[in-house]
Amino acid sequence: MTADPGSGRYLLYEIPAQTTLPQSLLGLTSAFLLAMLSGRALLVQWTKDYEAPGPSDIGGGAGDWDYGANATAVPHDERRSSLEEIFLDPGFWWSWDRFMGRWTGRFERAAAEIDIVVVNVSAEVEALACGDLRRWRVRDQFVKVAGAHYFAPALAVNARHADALFAQLPRDQLFAYLSNWLLRPVPTVMTAVHRFAERYFEDNYVIGLEMSLWQALGEWGTMTAAQQKRFFQEAADATYRATQALRGVMILVVTDDEEALRARLKGQPQDALGAAGIIAITGPRGTGTRRILTELQEVWLLGYADVCIVSPASPTGVVGHARTGRAPIVVAADGGAAHASAATQPCFADLAALRAASCFRPDMLAQLSIDPEVPCVDETGWRRRLGRQRGEGGGQGGLGAVPAGGGAESAVWAAGGAPWTAQLGSSAAHWRGGERAAEVLLPVSQWSGGCGGGGSGGGGSRRGVWAGSPESPWR
């Protein structure tokens, strides 16, 4: 951050309201790279539209969800968040609100007087991929980009900047390096993550499954039973490889559909996953800071996985496996195959715009770590498809979600044995029977029996852990 706010040039990124937090992190990381290459200071504005991104189960099957009506039904204090409540400063000031307080105090000017140029990045691919970014919109002091798609690849192929960029960063790990440096969750999240990992992951081989059951290939629809089955086949194979090395195994499942996952696990043969323990985390619901922090906890916990098995083009899976620095195993939508992906970063939806750029060369595509086996979700496209299916216009409205405050009917699950009931305290979950769970944001319950087994050391006691949504009405 420049010492004199009046003399600098700034790139402002607004966290989008009607998308999930993991999706918005793709746009934020891209904006960070653009700020670096264009010589601007990055500023981040938390959305003014209901003060939080959309629920993580957006598009989760509630066809009558009206974003505006349902979000405004939640008390304002419960739905609002601030950047400082979510992330620490990444070594520099980046809060737009804090910056504006300094700006108005120094110049005695209202924020409305600042001239901010709003840029549609999709219309700027020519300039981003071909031009001198140090001269990009040089006359504009404040440039604002909004949106959730990953446009960093357009910058990465820019011949004027690529050599200097990749002298410092590995080309095939660009997103992982940038996001892991930039994104620093507040201590509330990291303390919870470390406690959770110490309890369940320490000395174990961790298999992470990110199962976006509500979307497949960016089309509106549920994940097929064959695809779900394939996830657990891959997990079973990974479990076998780990137990051959005499390591305990823990399977971490992050999902947006609790009921479907329960049904799938109940249908697994008793010995399908060997002695693996299973932890299942359902997508957080509702609004506000607590939901957002829980979303962060999900993707950070996926970062502990020794192997990540993910849904095609899922933002949660992308951010999660970027934490590991490993290429994921992607399960095809039809369930017929699982693909060890060569791409370790998000895909670029605007390939057509890149091909139309004046500087385009076919070898540019080889620089983008494109994996033809993994589809690239065009966010705008699936929004439009969803709107058409619901008889609505395209654009920002009509995204399905579970109404704020809703949640799973219960996070209690008995799989062939006596149920365990979790009770959410202020910062800890407790298991009935006197054993205390890790102090985590996610409420935790335990089931006995069914598939899954002891964690550390691969012991034989059959048990698992279920972590539910913060809004679940715990009994």
Asked whether 238 and 209 are in contact (CB, 8 A), the reply is no
pLDDT, the chain, mean: 68
Q: pLDDT: is 445 or 152 the higher one?
A: 152
- pLDDT of 401 strictly over 60: no
- pLDDT of 453 strictly over 50: no
- pLDDT of 474 strictly over 50: no
- pLDDT of 80 strictly over 70: no
**Percent of the chain residues topping a pLDDT of 90:** 13
Tens-digit pLDDT profile for residues 288-324: 777 788 888 888 998 899 988 988 777 888 888 888 8
Tens-digit pLDDT profile for residues 439-452: 334 433 333 222 22
Confidence class for position 348, pLDDT limits 50, 70, 90: confident
Asked whether 50 and 79 are in contact (CB, 8 A), the reply is yes
- pLDDT of 49 strictly over 70: no
Q: pLDDT: is 47 or 91 the higher one?
A: 91
Q: pLDDT: is 56 or 362 the higher one?
A: 362
pLDDT of residue 317: 83
Tens-digit pLDDT profile for residues 159-199: 999 889 888 888 888 888 899 899 999 998 999 899 989 88
Confidence class for position 274, pLDDT limits 50, 70, 90: low
Domain 187-341+404-467: CATH architecture, name and number where available:
3-Layer(aba) Sandwich (3.40)
Q: Which of 84-98, 228-242, 367-381 has the lowest mean pLDDT?
A: 367-381
- pLDDT of 415 strictly over 50: no
Sign of the torsion angle spanned by Cα atoms 282, 283, 287, 291: positive
State if pTM tops 0.85.
no
Tens-digit pLDDT profile for residues 204-252: 889 998 887 654 434 435 677 788 888 888 888 888 877 666 668 888 8
pLDDT of residue 358: 92
pLDDT of residue 32: 95
